[in-house]
Amino acid sequence: MKDEIIVDKNPKSSVAEAIRIIRTNLEFSGVDKKVRSVLITSSVPSEGKSFISTNLATAFAQNGSKVLLMDCDMRKGRLHKIFGIENDKGLSNLLLENVEVRFNSYIRRTRIENLYLLPKGVVPPNPSELLNSPKTKVLLRTLADKFDYIILDGTPVNGLTDSLILTKYVDKTVIVASLNKTKTSELEFTKKSLISVGASIAGVIVNRTQDIHGSYYGNYYE
């Protein structure tokens, strides 16, 4: 599998530099309080949401912060595959337990210093209901005391309510769009849906643009 953690693999690339700029923008995007939790979402599948989540979390960790990356796409999440970590238990399993006591048992160290992963876990029959339970709020409040930053990799907005539910638990929400793939109508629907639930939208990251060398991942910007 291709190593998708470009910020670690090729830290001098234009992609890595763009990710670090996004990190800085997020750090200074809070008006009244520091931004410490960020939800990454998109309009539809395959727009590069997990790639952005992974590299952004890595960038925060490389800056010396203790970071937790949460795979909140309990249907099709793949963060465990990116990091080569087992997914025998994760977020879906944890939300069925006493989250304040048991969370440590589900969080895994990654090969990136300061970066930890909470994988998605087994696919539950009711992901939206699990995320909408009081335990999610308790979990994120508990984790906020243990980590400097929490990056949540959510589901696409169109057709699912999971990410809309998560917006009430985070400081900022970032939308990922894919050049020549994401339709304007899809992006507008996503923005309206997020606004309707009171999400604080930090910006849109346009994914899969090409730099002058024809790099596949190319430049990312907010």
Dihedral in degrees, nearest 10, Cα atoms 78, 37, 22, 198:
100
Tokens of residue 76, six digits = 């099709």
pLDDT at 33: 82
How many helices (H) and strands (E) are present in the chain, helices listed first? 10, 7
- Judge whether residue 218 has pLDDT over 70: no
CATH number of the domain that residue 112 is part of? 3.40.50.300
In a domain, 213, yes or no: no
- Judge whether residue 99 has pLDDT over 80: yes
In a domain, 220, yes or no: no
- Judge whether residue 32 has pLDDT over 80: no
* Averaged pLDDT for residues 17-23: 94
pTM: 0.92
In a domain, 218, yes or no: no
Taking alpha carbons only, the member of 63, 119, 79 closest to residue 95 is 119
In a domain, 221, yes or no: no
Instruction: Give the number of domains in the chain.
Output: 1
- Judge whether residue 128 has pLDDT over 90: yes
pLDDT at 36: 96
Domain that holds residue 104: 6-207
pLDDT at 208: 67
* Averaged pLDDT for residues 6-20: 94
**Per-residue pLDDT tens digits for 184-193:** 999 999 999 9
